[in-house]
Amino acid sequence: MTSAVVAVPRARPQVATRPALRLARRTRPARVGTFVAFAAIFTFVSAVGFHVVLAQGQLQLDRLGREISVERREYEQRRLKTSTLGSPQLIIQAAEQLGLVMPLDPPTYLEVPGAPAFPSDGSRTATTLGDWKKVKRHLGDGP
Amino acid sequence: MRLRLAILFAVMALAFLGIGARLVKLQASDQTHLRSLGVDQRLRTVTVAAERGSIFDRNGVELALSVPQTTIVADPSVIRHPIEYAAKLAPLVLVDQQALEIRLADSHSRFAYVARKVDDATVARVRALHLTGLSYLAEPKRFYPSGSLASPVLGFVGTDNYGLAGLESQYERSLRGQAGKARVEQDPQGNDIPGGAHVIDHARRGQDIVLTIDQSIQANAELVLTQQVESAGAKGGMAIVADVLTGDVLAMATVDGATTDQPAGPAPSGTENRPATVVYEPGSTNKVITMAGAIEEKIVTPDTEINDVGGDIVVGNTTYSDVDLHPSTMTVAQILEHSSNVGTIIIANALGPERFDHYLRAFGFGHTTTLGFPGEASYRLLPLNQYNATSMGSMPIGNGIAVTAIQMLDVYTTIANGGMSRPPRLVKATIDADGVRHDLPLLAPHRVVSPSTASAVTGMLELVVENGTGTSAKVAGYRVAGKTGTARKPPYEHPPYRYVASFVGFAPANSPRLAAIVVLDEPSGDYFGGRVAAPAFAQIMQQALGAERVPPVP
């Protein structure tokens, strides 16, 4: 580059110089840093959120577990109450309160007309094993 | 400015360096120790008790079951005012205040029982106190819904749910199940941290057992026996009902006589199961073995006439006689029908000691039954070579030997079953933790006498009830076979004399289904088995036949 200017330059009004604007380009490390920072924050928030969800789920499970044990306890208590109310002692007490009395003579077993006939010809009665389904039908198909 | 910034930076750098160094020390060098301290502070491993299996009667009625209750425990290490705690808790949970105070004051301990197996209402009152350091554990408690019904048979469990007597003890391994473990996380105040517990080992429920006992037959047997013990003024009584064909014991009752404090009633929990654990002299009920042996050996038949029965008989240095006068000649059947001691001794001597001893053992004397009940008695029979001069006088009529009620019932069950012994049993099935039922096979029978001998003896026993000493054992609508027994208890020579009265038999005699025995200990008035035990037998058998749907025989 050569210069051919020889004339005395006129005085020109002073113009404030400013650097030419240019698009500043971010450096690669800065972008990576930003990304990592965001990723870290996102991960942290996600982890916290996930943990909260887990904790909520666990609390829900605990609550259900407690409900199950309460219901189970209730079931067991009622089971006990049912068995107690069905005990012969309480039934006798309840019957006596209703005015019922024990018979002086033992009750006699009667065959009801029309009821299924069991062998009772005098030579043979129904036997437990031979006639299980008739004699002990309330106990299932066999001993 | 720069200087100040530099100083600030240096201070912060030093601070972070210090924190970092401390972190490294805590995380690296002290890590193991601190972790164990933390774990020890937060985590506790607790045993999760297994639910004990239930005991059912043969129809599925629960006779024993476990229901969760609450055990209140404390962490004394976090309790600062044990005296106040004890004063508040003791009246609610009904424990000794001083003892509780001592337990809570042990600040080195992290576990102390406040009260075990407390009902829900009490727990609610304790929770309302909002005391820190208390925890609440579920712990099963054993209940017997039918009260004292069959108590001596069922037995009982201790505080830690271990079976201590009866079937609870015999089937402890099956009923107990397997305890589990859980790790719980707690805050410094001893409160459980939600989500902080996890199970290490799951508890496995114990097996249920299904008995052969029938609740209604058992209840009636206890009721009738109680009335009879009361009216006879007896010291106690026992009764058993069994299924002839299966050996299943349907009822096994023990009754205590009246005392100055209380009336007669079923034996409470903790009483021994006397029908299996107490021996008595059977008296004349033992004559059936003498008769069965003599008929089996073809020495006599029911119709064989025996002479010189009317008087006394001397065996060794002892004279044996009968309570009632008898004709001088009686058939074998009549001897049993009228329970002649003299006639029975004559037949026994014809049988001879060797064969007599053989039949005693063959019918099950001298060893325990197949029940295997805890504490079951087994009177050692006198070895043959140790028989003395009077052995063949006393033993054939049921003196000088001792048996349990279940052993004597087994003899009659064998006769009723056509000469085949059907070993008795109390448990017919188990139900595992998955709800699968496992039926136990019937125990193998074995032949003791031939069917013809059993049939002949059954006929003779029918005559006992029809015309002989056991007429009070008749059951309307059914043919009954059985035998009375009356034995004097030692000391034999000195008054006041004490007796054991019994009746054992089966019905229907033509096709036996049920056998039963009733034994009264020391009746104070009338003491003959035919008068005090036979009526109770009739009532018990009547109800049992109905419950078993055995039709009456026209």
**Residue B429 pLDDT greater than 90, yes or no:** yes
Interface contact B138, partner A, CB < 8 A: yes
Q: What percent of chain B has pLDDT above 90?
A: 62
The mean pLDDT of B467-483, rounded to a whole number, is: 92
Spatial separation of the C-alpha atoms in residues A141 and B80, rounded to whole Å: 65
Which chain B residues are within 8 Å of A75, Cβ to Cβ? none
Q: Output the pLDDT for position B195.
A: 60
* Level-2 CATH architecture, domain B215-547: 3-Layer(aba) Sandwich (3.40)
Interface test with A, best of B220, B246, B511 (most A CBs within 10 A): B511
Q: Output the pLDDT for position A97.
A: 93
The mean pLDDT of B403-420, rounded to a whole number, is: 95
Label residue B527 by pLDDT band (50, 70, 90): confident
**Residue A124 pLDDT greater than 50, yes or no:** no
Q: What is the mean pLDDT of chain B?
A: 90
- Summarised one tens digit per residue, pLDDT across range B284-294 is 999 999 999 99
Label residue B138 by pLDDT band (50, 70, 90): confident
Label residue B306 by pLDDT band (50, 70, 90): very high
**Residue B533 pLDDT greater than 80, yes or no:** yes
Interface contact B193, partner A, CB < 8 A: no
Give the residue from chain B lying closest to A131, CA to CA: B550
Interface contact A111-B61, CB threshold 8 A: no
**Residue B39 pLDDT greater than 80, yes or no:** no
Residues 46-75 of B with CB under 8 A from A: 58-59, 61-62, 65, 67-68
The whole-angstrom distance between A23's CA and the closest CA on chain B is 32
Interface test with B, best of A125, A135, A138 (most B CBs within 10 A): A125
The mean pLDDT of B311-330, rounded to a whole number, is: 85
Q: Output the pLDDT for position A111.
A: 61
Interface test with A, best of B69, B119, B120, B146 (most A CBs within 10 A): B146
The mean pLDDT of B327-335, rounded to a whole number, is: 91
**Residue A112 pLDDT greater than 70, yes or no:** no
Interface contact A29, partner B, CB < 8 A: no
**Residue B159 pLDDT greater than 80, yes or no:** yes
Q: Output the pLDDT for position A143.
A: 58
The mean pLDDT of A39-52, rounded to a whole number, is: 92
Q: Output the pLDDT for position B292.
A: 96
Q: What percent of chain B has pLDDT above 70?
A: 97
Q: What is the DSSP string of B492-536?
A: -SSSSP-EEEEEEEEE-TTS--EEEEEEEES-SS---IIIIIHHH
* pTM for this entry: 0.81
- Summarised one tens digit per residue, pLDDT across range B365-402 is 998 899 989 988 877 888 999 998 889 999 999 998 99
Interface contact B554-A138, CB threshold 8 A: no
Q: Output the pLDDT for position A125.
A: 46
The whole-angstrom distance between A9's CA and the closest CA on chain B is 46
Interface contact B553-A136, CB threshold 8 A: no
- Return the number of other C-beta atoms located less than 10 Å from residue A4's C-beta: 4
Q: Output the pLDDT for position A11.
A: 63
Interface contact A109-B511, CB threshold 8 A: no
Nearest to A80 among B145, B215, B543 (CB): B145
- Summarised one tens digit per residue, pLDDT across range B338-352 is 999 999 999 999 999
Structure tokens at B539: 């009532």
Cβ proximity of B372 and B171 under 8 Å: no
The mean pLDDT of B23-48, rounded to a whole number, is: 80
The mean pLDDT of A72-96, rounded to a whole number, is: 91
Q: Output the pLDDT for position B481.
A: 96
Among residues B343, B314, B313, the alpha carbon closest in space to that of B326 is found at: B343
The whole-angstrom distance between B118's CA and the closest CA on chain A is 13
**Residue A134 pLDDT greater than 70, yes or no:** no
Interface contact A106-B216, CB threshold 8 A: no
- Return the number of other C-beta atoms located less than 10 Å from residue A78's C-beta: 11
Q: What is the mean pLDDT of chain A?
A: 75
The whole-angstrom distance between A33's CA and the closest CA on chain B is 22
Spatial separation of the C-alpha atoms in residues B540 and B239, rounded to whole Å: 9
**Residue B73 pLDDT greater than 50, yes or no:** yes
Helix (H, G, I), strand (E, B) or coil at B165: strand
**Residue B43 pLDDT greater than 60, yes or no:** yes
Q: Which has more confidence, B268 or A31?
A: B268
Label residue A140 by pLDDT band (50, 70, 90): low
Q: Output the pLDDT for position B280.
A: 94
- Summarised one tens digit per residue, pLDDT across range B436-458 is 999 999 888 999 999 999 999 99
Interface contact B65-A139, CB threshold 8 A: no
Q: Output the pLDDT for position B357.
A: 95
Give the residue from chain B lying closest to A123, CA to CA: B510
Give the residue from chain A lying closest to B145, CA to CA: A84
What ranges do the domains of chain B cover? 215-547
The whole-angstrom distance between A122's CA and the closest CA on chain B is 6
Q: Which has more confidence, B133 or B38?
A: B133
Cβ proximity of B186 and B110 under 8 Å: no
Q: Output the pLDDT for position B479.
A: 93
Interface contact A108-B145, CB threshold 8 A: no
* Interface A-B: count of C-beta contacts within 8 A: 116
CA neighbours within 13 Å on the CB side: how many for B400? 15
Q: Output the pLDDT for position B547.
A: 87
**Residue A119 pLDDT greater than 50, yes or no:** no
> A57-65: which pairs have CB atoms within 8 A and are 24 or more residues apart?
A58/B194, A58/B195, A59/B194, A59/B195, A61/B195, A62/B194, A62/B195
Interface contact A139, partner B, CB < 8 A: yes
Q: Which residues are within 8 A (CB) of B13 and not within 5 positions of it... i.e. 6 or more apart? A: none
Q: Would residue B42 be called left, alpha or beta, if left means φ above 0 and alpha means ψ between -120 and 50 degrees?
A: alpha
Interface contact B553-A143, CB threshold 8 A: no
Give the residue from chain B lying closest to A138, CA to CA: B59
The whole-angstrom distance between A29's CA and the closest CA on chain B is 24
Q: Output the pLDDT for position B496.
A: 82
Give the residue from chain B lying closest to A103, CA to CA: B539
Interface contact A122-B553, CB threshold 8 A: yes
Interface contact A135-B549, CB threshold 8 A: yes
Which chain A residues are within 8 Å of B192, Cβ to Cβ? none
**Residue A117 pLDDT greater than 60, yes or no:** no
